[in-house]
A and B are shown apart, each in its own frame.
Chain A
């Protein structure tokens, strides 16, 4: 039996006819592996690539690019990456390309050699090399921060808030960017600032930042955050800054859509139309863009689409954004007390920047403006703890507080005080633990 197997190598039938079935099955298997790899572990990478391109079925676009070799390459790459918009089509596209390239090479190689097994194995090499060297960016293999960044970005784009929080709780984010996304996920679930200290907070930059670095991801994420806060002009500004990081001056479907959305929400239809017209000839954004274009001038339609956002947009056209982001959030909340996300971010910002007097001030304002839910625990702990530390524990607390809360906070402060010598032993996950960490960092 063994001898028979040796005599009839894979790919060659006993009667000498070409035998392609096992090879074909192996190719299909490789295709499936590539497909599953792209669909799961590399899904975030596909999303990243998709954001760097915008292929359009437009004669003008193709004509402009077709004038140079780099343009022709751009056409091919953009055409392929457009399918990455959707995980399934993206993974399928990469798998098909992998298989097609390998199979073409195999068909060519098998004409010119005798050792079919070796040639068949060799025919995988170019596809594999292209996949590893051309498709996987170096930082993905060498930089865990970049890997994490891609994952958070993908989860954020697909609104997977719970997985983001779960990930951040189980493994502390490696960068402020990732932490920003995790805090935003909490905000989207209505759990900011309640659960924010379940994450390892690093400071206000882990909440908000408008400085882009390295690639388009941080600015694009801030654009999402600003949009949800009702700051559509800032969402637009961050989308513009994100575009500056897209290589070769390319357009980005996702960022163009954001620019269109921000301008539609802001009522700037002339500018929105520019981006919509551009998007209208793309495969995956086209339908949405054409629908918006068809409704141009229909105020009722856009009010129904963007009514909530519009109600949050600051109305004072002479108001410049204050340099202090805390002040900015306070202004935003003052103008629109119904903007709960602005209040959540305001509290979180005050807590992270350690401005305890402002936490109290903004909480009192919120209570005056009719805030009726239970105050977030970190806010209560901050205010009551501060009140206790000032030695005013015998008087009336600055906010309504139960005996239970007061004793809980007192116990927390006491245990943190005892653990000051060995911070590792301190109970984590509270505002006061965060403060203790910050104080420790200040010490030489």
Chain B
């Protein structure tokens, strides 16, 4: 045994000796150009190690030192950290910062770059992980896609359901109840179509369409009690551009909002949110469950030609959980159409202070709009402002709040303009965002260059999901579907 250990040590030492180490270094006054860009970001404790690389560097020597003590070293072709040491370093420096010193071998020369800070927020990320969908770019056919969950403190990812298990149907818009990961819903299109509703692990398969409604249940949001789900029903179309700068336009010919009551399988369609002259979409309950936020736009004739005139505002209507009925008056909170913009995907912070939304020039599908940015409204002051530190030149959208209202997760195309990645961003008590950081990956360069998937519909998860993908798959593949009953409420 000892001999083996000795041998291992000798081999390690020899291998180490083979790697060039900095001798004479040139000082560089700039920060290193690292991927992902973690320079000056604010991170929570409990996040996975921020592995990073320098594309032009052959070797890197990296030292992370905490202001309050602890150090961590990494050397190799990219910066990688031991999981336990990393978490120890973050815990020791919570509420303070780390200084990252990078020395890299570039074009045969060792260069020491200006050290950069990483801020460790005092606000803990009160979530176990994330759920999201991974989907390759594709428009007409569904190849490989799936729903996944990922632990935030490590790189561990597991599929919840992959469409290869269900005859390659399209799986979309997985939406959990934030406090209860076993309560979720998503829609399956294709030969085994269904709206899947799981409440505390009890799974029901709803019929994919309600003929009286004339469509399926698309963008969902859970009522905080888990007793209702608000869905939009959308007649969605897509058209393509012949230029690379804009690839596709996704728009709704019709859309309404409905309230689904899982106990009775009843759908309530209120005429206020099903106006024939308007498009209503992306419903969101307030955390207290007494309001419903959504976006709405004036319908256009010949939408294919007038798609760029469709601009959404964000509105709010009262919701009465006791009866499951909506109020009778609608408030317009974000009047984006007035300024020639379109605001959609409203998300209310759990502390009910902020309304986070995506703003683009027109339409309801900001993920394909390079100009789309995240904006915030302070619901105390009604002040609206962009999250400059979170935004980029490319599209940001599909955002969600952490349970403590201090972190958001969203998708961004900033790396290459086509593939979306997940970013996390700290938001302080007055709504100021810190510089967003890319969800850490074990092999960052490999991930960026090789993954054929885009992320979307991310959400925080309090715990890993206990439901097995086998059960989900078996239920989807069975023909049994529960019909829904439509009720209309006229005003």
Interface 9-mer from A14-22, A72-80, A227-235: A227-235
Q: Which of B142, B240, B241, B304 contacts A317 (CB 8 A)?
A: B241
Return the chain A residue nearest B305 by Cβ.
A320
Which residues from chain B contact A60 at a C-beta distance below 8 Å?
443, 446, 450
Q: Is A376 located at the chain interface by the 8 A CB criterion?
A: no
Return the chain B residue nearest A212 by Cβ.
B141
Which residues from chain A contact B450 at a C-beta distance below 8 Å?
60-61, 277-278
Q: Is B144 located at the chain interface by the 8 A CB criterion?
A: yes
- B452 touching A237, Cβ below 8 Å: no
Interface 9-mer from B118-126, B178-186, B242-250, B314-322: B242-250
Q: Which of A231, A271, A313 contacts B416 (CB 8 A)?
A: A271
Bound form: Cα–Cα A259–B234 in Å? 31
Q: Is A291 located at the chain interface by the 8 A CB criterion?
A: no
- A244 touching B304, Cβ below 8 Å: no
Known contacts being A210-B140, A244-B136, is A317 close to B243, with CB within 8 Å? yes
Q: Which of A236, A244, A323 contacts B141 (CB 8 A)?
A: A244
**Min CB gap A309→B, angstroms:** 12
Bound form: Cα–Cα A359–B142 in Å? 37
- B140 touching A321, Cβ below 8 Å: no
Within 136-164 of B, Cβ neighbours of A (below 8 Å) are at 136-144, 164
- B417 touching A268, Cβ below 8 Å: yes
Bound form: Cα–Cα A278–B450 in Å? 6
- B243 touching A323, Cβ below 8 Å: no
Which residues from chain A contact B141 at a C-beta distance below 8 Å?
212, 219, 241, 244-245
Within 230-266 of A, Cβ neighbours of B (below 8 Å) are at 231-234, 236-237, 240-241, 243-246, 248-249, 251, 262-263, 266
Q: Is A118 located at the chain interface by the 8 A CB criterion?
A: no
Most chain A CB within 10 A, of B138, B307, B415, B419, is at: B138
- B240 touching A243, Cβ below 8 Å: no
Q: Which of A243, A268, A273, A318 contacts B136 (CB 8 A)?
A: A243
Known contacts being A249-B143, A271-B418, A320-B249, is A231 close to B242, with CB within 8 Å? yes
We find that the number of chain B residues with CB closer than 8 angstroms to chain A is 34
**Min CB gap A331→B, angstroms:** 9
Which residues from chain A contact B136 at a C-beta distance below 8 Å?
240, 243-244, 249
- B240 touching A270, Cβ below 8 Å: no
Q: Is B239 located at the chain interface by the 8 A CB criterion?
A: yes
- B242 touching A321, Cβ below 8 Å: yes
In the complex, which range does the number of interface residues on chain A fall in? Answer: 35 or more
Which residues from chain B contact A268 at a C-beta distance below 8 Å?
244, 417-418
Known contacts being A251-B452, A317-B241, A320-B240, is A233 close to B247, with CB within 8 Å? yes
- B143 touching A323, Cβ below 8 Å: no
- B143 touching A244, Cβ below 8 Å: yes
Known contacts being A270-B417, A271-B416, A320-B239, is A263 close to B140, with CB within 8 Å? no
Q: Is B308 located at the chain interface by the 8 A CB criterion?
A: yes
**Min CB gap B395→A, angstroms:** 14
- A244 touching B138, Cβ below 8 Å: yes
**Min CB gap A275→B, angstroms:** 9
- B449 touching A237, Cβ below 8 Å: no
Known contacts being A237-B240, A270-B417, is A317 close to B143, with CB within 8 Å? no
Q: Which of A266, A274, A321, A323 contacts B419 (CB 8 A)?
A: A274
Q: Mark B218-262, 1 if CB is under 8 A from A, else 0.
A: 000000000000000000000111111111010000000000000
Q: Is A141 located at the chain interface by the 8 A CB criterion?
A: no
**Min CB gap B102→A, angstroms:** 22
- B142 touching A244, Cβ below 8 Å: yes
Q: Is A211 located at the chain interface by the 8 A CB criterion?
A: yes
**Min CB gap B309→A, angstroms:** 12
- A318 touching B308, Cβ below 8 Å: yes
**Min CB gap B212→A, angstroms:** 29
**Min CB gap B140→A, angstroms:** 5
Query: Is the contact region of chain B dominated by helix, strand, or loop, or is it mixed?
Result: loop
**Min CB gap B297→A, angstroms:** 18
Q: Which of A241, A317, A320, A323 contacts B139 (CB 8 A)?
A: A241
- A232 touching B244, Cβ below 8 Å: yes
Bound form: Cα–Cα A236–B137 in Å? 10
Return the chain B residue nearest A332 by Cβ.
B242
Known contacts being A211-B140, A237-B240, A320-B307, is A277 close to B449, with CB within 8 Å? yes
Q: Is A158 located at the chain interface by the 8 A CB criterion?
A: no
Known contacts being A266-B243, A313-B242, A320-B307, is A237 close to B139, with CB within 8 Å? yes
**Min CB gap B373→A, angstroms:** 19
Known contacts being A263-B244, A268-B417, is A241 close to B138, with CB within 8 Å? yes
Bound form: Cα–Cα A288–B450 in Å? 18
Bound form: Cα–Cα A268–B249 in Å? 18
Bound form: Cα–Cα A244–B168 in Å? 10
- A317 touching B416, Cβ below 8 Å: no
Which residues from chain B contact A317 at a C-beta distance below 8 Å?
241, 243, 245-246
Which residues from chain B contact A245 at a C-beta distance below 8 Å?
141, 143
Bound form: Cα–Cα A277–B419 in Å? 15
Bound form: Cα–Cα A313–B243 in Å? 7
**Min CB gap B32→A, angstroms:** 20
**Min CB gap A117→B, angstroms:** 48
Q: Is A315 located at the chain interface by the 8 A CB criterion?
A: yes
Q: Is A267 located at the chain interface by the 8 A CB criterion?
A: yes
Within 144-158 of A, Cβ neighbours of B (below 8 Å) are at none
**Min CB gap B370→A, angstroms:** 11
Bound form: Cα–Cα A332–B243 in Å? 12
- B415 touching A270, Cβ below 8 Å: yes
Return the chain A residue nearest B136 by Cβ.
A243
Q: Is A304 located at the chain interface by the 8 A CB criterion?
A: no
Which residues from chain B contact A316 at a C-beta distance below 8 Å?
243
Q: Which of A212, A240, A270 contacts B137 (CB 8 A)?
A: A240
Q: Is A422 located at the chain interface by the 8 A CB criterion?
A: no
Which residues from chain A contact B245 at a C-beta distance below 8 Å?
317
- A233 touching B138, Cβ below 8 Å: no
Bound form: Cα–Cα A70–B242 in Å? 39
Bound form: Cα–Cα A212–B141 in Å? 7
Q: Is A314 located at the chain interface by the 8 A CB criterion?
A: yes
Bound form: Cα–Cα A60–B443 in Å? 9
Q: Mark B441-455, 1 if CB is under 8 A from A, else 0.
A: 001001011101000
Which residues from chain A contact B247 at a C-beta distance below 8 Å?
233, 236-237
Q: Is A319 located at the chain interface by the 8 A CB criterion?
A: yes
Bound form: Cα–Cα A239–B296 in Å? 35
**Min CB gap A394→B, angstroms:** 42
Which residues from chain B contact A244 at a C-beta distance below 8 Å?
136, 138, 141-144
- B308 touching A236, Cβ below 8 Å: no
Most chain B CB within 10 A, of A219, A231, A233, A318, is at: A233
Bound form: Cα–Cα A211–B140 in Å? 7
- A321 touching B138, Cβ below 8 Å: no
Bound form: Cα–Cα A262–B419 in Å? 16
Given contacts A245-B143, A271-B417, list 20 more A-B pairs with CB under 8 A. A212-B140, A212-B141, A233-B244, A234-B240, A237-B247, A240-B136, A241-B139, A244-B136, A248-B164, A249-B143, A249-B164, A263-B244, A267-B244, A268-B418, A274-B418, A277-B450, A316-B243, A317-B245, A318-B241, A320-B304
27 A–B contacts from the bound complex (CB under 8 Å): A231-B242, A233-B247, A234-B242, A237-B139, A237-B240, A240-B137, A240-B139, A241-B138, A241-B140, A243-B136, A244-B142, A249-B144, A249-B452, A266-B244, A267-B244, A268-B417, A270-B415, A270-B418, A271-B419, A274-B418, A315-B243, A317-B245, A320-B241, A320-B307, A321-B240, A321-B242, A332-B242
The 9 closest A-B pairs by CB, nearest first: A244-B143, A249-B144, A266-B244, A270-B416, A244-B141, A277-B449, A60-B446, A314-B242, A320-B239
